[in-house]
Amino acid sequence: MKIVITGGAGFLGKRLAKALLARESLTGPDGVTKKIKELVLFDIAPGIDLEDDRLRYISGDISDSETVKKLIDENTASIFHLAAVVSAQAEEDFDLGFRINLNGTYHVLEAARALPHAPKLLFTSSIATYGGDLPDVVADETAQMPQTSYGTAKVMGELLVQDYSRKGYIDGRSLRLPTISVRTGLPNKAASTWASSMIREPLCGRDAICPVSETTPMACMSPTKIIGALIHAHDLPADAFGATRSLLLPGISITAGEMAAAVERHKGNRKIGKILWQPDPAIQKIVDGWPRATHSARAEYLGFEKDNNLDDMIHGFIEEDLEDQLTLY
């Protein structure tokens, strides 16, 4: 069984690859559990430091259709499409955002459509697809009204996955991800990057900048629960999704102030860095347009797990990722 992960050198891509290699098998398009014989990680970024005989890394541009056609060949059974330009960067550079986030998704879908079979395809969408006058808790029935180019491209991607599935070209499913916290790595141009950096950096003894107010809430989900959700969604039968192939994942609502307080609770004997409150109106505007909390009765019914609380999320980072994070500095 060959699996392709686009954005394979990114934070989620690498974690997903490790989880799949450890798991060793997935449910194929025919519903039969099969051994993973080849795992291809595709990204424009440099290669990764994972070593496994089943693993192959390919560098390339997702917006180049010919490259994507060669990547997704007749041996491909499943595709995890994670590649994307992050929110604030997509907002700053409209052309880049749509070239990667929309055109790249289209190229992946077209390559899948050209196969002699309908592969499974999992598309990572986002709660940035919501916006405007939102309820306190976004639920399954909440209408999508994105307020950013990033969110708009994600809505379009969901609709394409839905239609390609309707036509029988793919067996698709889209997950709307809450903000992932705590991510490893360095701060990036995502408008939500502060939701990890203001926890991650201080616990590593470094100062962090928070561009939003202390009362700003964010719907969050831990990396462990996200990876579990990706694999769980992949292995569910298509008819479990019902009329729509898109699914909202459950995120817990956490404010920036609560994150700062949690860092203090978990500092232990460490000399922690400072959190520098430096308001950025552009970032605040983007974040204010996103859901403050999410609840999905569908996700609960289908067996997707949610985080218990912020303390568990930080404890998970300390236990699983803090040592590796320190090596980056």
Rounded to whole angstroms, how far apart are CA atoms 177 and 103? Answer: 20
Q: Give the number of other Cβ atoms within 10 Å of residue 218's Cβ.
A: 25
Q: Which two tokens stand for residue 157?
A: 């991607």
Active site residue 150: yes
Nearest to 249 by CA among 85, 158, 139: 139
List 130, 150, 164, 169, catalytic entry: 150
Q: Which amino acid, residue 152?
A: T
- What's phi and psi for 296, nearest 5 deg? -130, 110
CA 62 to chain centroid? 17
Q: Is 191 in contact with 287 (CB distance < 8 Å)?
A: yes
Nearest to 141 by CA among 236, 240, 218, 248: 248
Residue that has been written with the tokens 């404010």 in this structure: 255
* Catalytically annotated residues: 150
